[in-house]
């Protein structure tokens, strides 16, 4: 049977045109995928210039702390450096996982600011007392409920902040007076909870900023967030934090998740090996003022 393959082939000019069209289609698809992925990547790992924009756009919100440059030996070849201090903040405390988190922090001599949800405090006051009395940590205000605080009315927001503040003050008072369930260290750096507020879901409005400032609170967010509230892989969250650490950074993690303590167990020793020290928000702010 005769074969005529040459009759089934496109002319060279048409073949080249078809290849170009396929390549153009492939490049267009790759560009579309890139356009779709870039916003997600920016949300997942916001670049430093974006955080700098947030700092300039909302200077009353705490995103990071600029630390002073250390005095060098005078050697022109020596690069200026900063103390490698990082504030570790843990949202959604307390929970059944808080003691496990405290144990990891104790193991690596790391301090943290726990942002407390008031509705989770009843029945768990003892673990908050332990955090203060034994760990050198501090407690701050995260509202009464795990909800988008941006949608609250002024009256509801003010009432929630006041209610949680009263709860935290009771914990501070009990530790100062020695009613802390067997703890041995009752020296507190503060006799009152710091006036920090982190809004539920992390979103704020100009109205909220104004009200929080009138109440004498500082809005505290941060620039290093591994999205650990949703992502339950300790190794991935640890890697995310390590890739974004800079002196003066504020790290956001979450209590109430079984994977947080394992994540800290992976992340803390690796960061400490790089020279980082984990402190409370108050300690980081104090270090930032030392250069003023």
Q: How far apart are the C-alpha atoms of 15 and 178, rounded to whole Å? A: 85
Asked if omega into 94 is within 30° of 0 (cis), the reply is yes
Provide CATH code, domain 50-71+82-289: 3.20.20.370
Query: By three-state DSSP, how is residue 194 classified?
Result: coil
Q: Tell me, what's the pLDDT at 273?
A: 98
Q: How far apart are the C-alpha atoms of 287 and 35, rounded to whole Å? A: 40
217-242 average pLDDT score = 98
Tokens describing residue 65: 């702390």
99-105 average pLDDT score = 98
Residue spans per domain, the chain:
10-44, 50-71+82-289
Q: Tell me, what's the pLDDT at 81?
A: 79
Instruction: Give 273's contacts (C-beta < 8 A, 6+ positions apart).
Output: none
Q: Flag whether pLDDT at 155 surpasses 90.
A: yes
Please list the residues that pair with 220 across neighbouring strands: 62
């Amino acid at each position: 049977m005769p074969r005529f393959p040459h009759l089934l082939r496109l002319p060279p000019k048409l073949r080249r045109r078809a290849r170009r069209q396929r390549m153009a289609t492939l490049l267009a698809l790759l560009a579309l995928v890139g356009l779709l992925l870039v916003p997600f990547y920016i949300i997942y790992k916001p670049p430093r210039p974006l955080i700098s924009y947030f700092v300039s756009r909302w200077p009353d919100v705490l995103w990071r702390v600029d630390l002073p440059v250390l005095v060098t030996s005078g050697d022109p070849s020596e690069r200026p450096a900063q103390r490698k201090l990082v504030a570790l903040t843990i949202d959604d405390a307390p929970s059944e996982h808080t003691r496990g988190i405290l144990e990891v922090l104790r193991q690596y001599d790391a301090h943290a600011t726990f942002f407390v949800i008031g509705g989770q405090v009843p029945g768990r006051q003892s673990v908050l007392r332990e955090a203060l009395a034994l760990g050198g940590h501090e407690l701050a205000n995260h509202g009464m409920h795990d909800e988008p605080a941006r949608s609250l009315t002024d009256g509801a927001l003010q009432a929630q902040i006041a209610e949680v503040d009263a709860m935290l003050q009771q914990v501070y008072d009990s530790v100062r007076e020695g009613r802390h369930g067997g703890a041995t260290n009752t020296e507190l750096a503060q006799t009152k909870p710091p006036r920090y507020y982190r809004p539920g879901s992390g979103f704020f409005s100009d109205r909220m900023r104004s009200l929080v400032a009138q109440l004498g609170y500082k809005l505290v967010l941060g620039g290093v967030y591994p999205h650990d509230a949703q992502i339950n892989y300790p190794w991935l969250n640890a890697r995310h934090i390590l890739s974004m650490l800079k002196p003066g950074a504020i790290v956001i993690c979450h209590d109430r998740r079984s994977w947080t303590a394992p994540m800290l167990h992976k992340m803390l020793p690796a960061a400490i090996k790089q020279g980082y020290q984990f402190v409370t928000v108050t300690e980081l702010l104090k270090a930032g003022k030392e250069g003023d």
